[in-house]
Amino acid sequence: MENSSTEVEVSWYLSIAGISSCVGRILLGMATNSEDVSEDIVFFGTYSILGGATIFLPSFIKFHYAKICYSILLGVNSGSCYVVINTIVLRLTGPNHVAQGTGYVLAYIGVGTLIGPPLAGFIIDNGGGYAKSFVIAGLSLILGALIELCSVFFKTDMYKIPHTEDINIYVTDDEMNSNSKIAIEEQTKLT
């Protein structure tokens, strides 16, 4: 409600963020389904964009359309980690430890969610203002993106995903017909 936003406007911004999060998750899921798109780069890119937008938001907070654009960016980019997190964890831990790795990641997300709002309140209460809390939040997002990018550069081959070849099975019409006749002959009637 800071910066002359009404309650209705704030509810619209949150609704826009929620709707764009749904759309963003679907689109990013479709995009990362391709082998040509790296989940690590998607994670890095979306969180870097979100961090940069969060840092610069206080400069444009007076403009209604800037808040709408930020709500769209927030929605599209904040939900992206949940789309790619499992494939990143699978690559880092292997299939035997995916649940444990995902649990650790979600625990870290929970710690950040638990600490973030009180930290922002502490900054504001001690004279820092809203702008500083947004800058720190944006820098935290960019730092998280850079840490994830380090996992790409220092990638180890602890777990190699097995490569499977395509299997082609050819069945002729004669084989299908003979198999169906055998199946009919083997049926027994229940009385």
Per-residue pLDDT tens over the stretch 42-65: 888 888 999 999 999 888 888 888
CA dihedral 30, 24, 90, 160 (to 10 degrees): 50
Q: What's the mean pLDDT when you consider all of the chain?
A: 82
Predicted local distance difference test score (pLDDT) of residue 60: 86
Residue 15 in this model has a pLDDT that exceeds 90: yes
Predicted local distance difference test score (pLDDT) of residue 71: 92
Nearest CA to 160 out of 85, 87, 93 is that of 93
Predicted local distance difference test score (pLDDT) of residue 1: 39
- Each residue's pLDDT tens digit, 78-89: 888 888 888 888
Lowest mean pLDDT among 27-31, 74-78, 80-84, 98-102: 80-84
Q: Which residues contact 157 (CB under 8 A, 6 or more apart)?
A: none
- The two tokens of residue 166 are 């395509």
Residue 125 in this model has a pLDDT that exceeds 50: yes
How far, in Å, CA of 18 to CA of 78, rounded? Answer: 10
- The two tokens of residue 88 are 């990143």
Burial of 132 (0-12, 13-18, 19+ CB in 10 A): middle
The DSSP H or E segment spanning 40 is helix 39-60
Lowest mean pLDDT among 58-62, 103-107, 134-138, 156-160: 156-160
Count of residues in the chain: 191
Residue 190 in this model has a pLDDT that exceeds 70: no
Predicted local distance difference test score (pLDDT) of residue 20: 93
End-to-end Cα, the chain, rounded Å: 77
Residue 67 in this model has a pLDDT that exceeds 60: yes
Residue 112 in this model has a pLDDT that exceeds 50: yes
Predicted local distance difference test score (pLDDT) of residue 68: 92
